[in-house]
Amino acid sequence: MLQVSLYRYNPETDDAPYMQDFSVDTEGRDLMVLDVLELIKAEHDGSVTYRRSCREGVCGSDGLNINGKNGLACISPLSESVKNNKLVIRPLPGLPVIRDLVVDMSLFYAQYEKVQPYLQNATPAPAIERLQSPEERAQLDGLYECILCACCSTSCPSFWWNPDRFIGPAGLLQAYRFLADSRDTATEERLAKLDDPFSVFRCHGIQNCVNVCPKGLNPTKAIGHIRGMLLSRAT
């Protein structure tokens, strides 16, 4: 029997959060962590609350702290997550808990909104589409794949302490995605908004974000590129 410890908190009935233990029969299968949560909800306690949707690592809904490391429950197999037959599941750290494993992502999305994550081009739109060479398109690889699960930003201490000022690795990865886009003409305006002591430069390069990204992306490298662009345009 797998021993599972779940973070529980219902603000309507609980004074404080607590950990609840469950013994789950996995029948020896190497299930995903999400499957274990589904088993608990179906067979033990129907009030256990979490987000989920696609169950295949695409939607980014079920970002959780699994045995101390952020990840997507749906693509985290027990064989890689369980230690000493124990599975401890908590909500993503640093964000307010709404209930059980569901966090309020408002601060995360507010930072994402700050980087204006959409193409800006002041030139007249062509008849069909704005073309890119294969080399220009390749600049976006490793950037556009982000699914905004928030595993990276909520594993970053700089984001924990200043979630209202530091954009965080997810937002900065998207900031660089548009800075690197050959079709975007708002580069100067984008960079001007980032040159303060918090938005980008609160990153100290500890690479927690790289360590946890379920899509294998590298926000620290993108942040380095942003620093390089700011340095290049400085006098």
Partner 1 sequence: MVTSVTSFSRTGLSDWLIQRITSVILLAYFVFVAYQLGASVDYTSWKDLFDQTWVKVFTLLAALSLAAHSWIGLWSVFTDYLTERLLGPVGNVLRLLCQLGASLALVVYVIWVVVIVWS
Q: Give yes or no for residue 162 binding partner 1 (CB under 8 A).
A: yes
192 touches partner 1 (CB under 8 A)? yes
Q: Which CB sits closer to partner 1, 57 or 163?
A: 163
Amino acid at site 45: D
Based on the shown chain and the rule CB under 8 A, indicate whether residue 188 belongs to the binding site for partner 1: no
Of the pair 7, 198, the CB lying nearest partner 1 is at 198
Stretch that binds partner 1, among 12-20, 119-127, 147-155, 192-200 (CB under 8 A): 192-200
Q: Counting contacts by CB under 8 A, is residue 18 touching partner 1?
A: no
Coil/strand/helix, residue 178? helix
**Site for partner 1 (CB under 8 A): how many residues?**
22
Interface with partner 1, residue 199, by CB under 8 A:
yes
Residue of 52, 109, 117, 201 interacting with partner 1 (CB under 8 A): 201
63 CB-near residues (< 8 Å, 6+ apart): 70, 71, 72, 73, 92, 149, 150, 151, 154, 214
Q: Write the DSSP assignment of 57-126 as a string of letters.
A: SSS-TTEEEETTEEEEGGG-BHHHH-BTTEEEEEPPTTS-EEETTEE--HHHHHHHHHT--S----SPPP
Residue 221 interacting with partner 1 (CB under 8 A): no
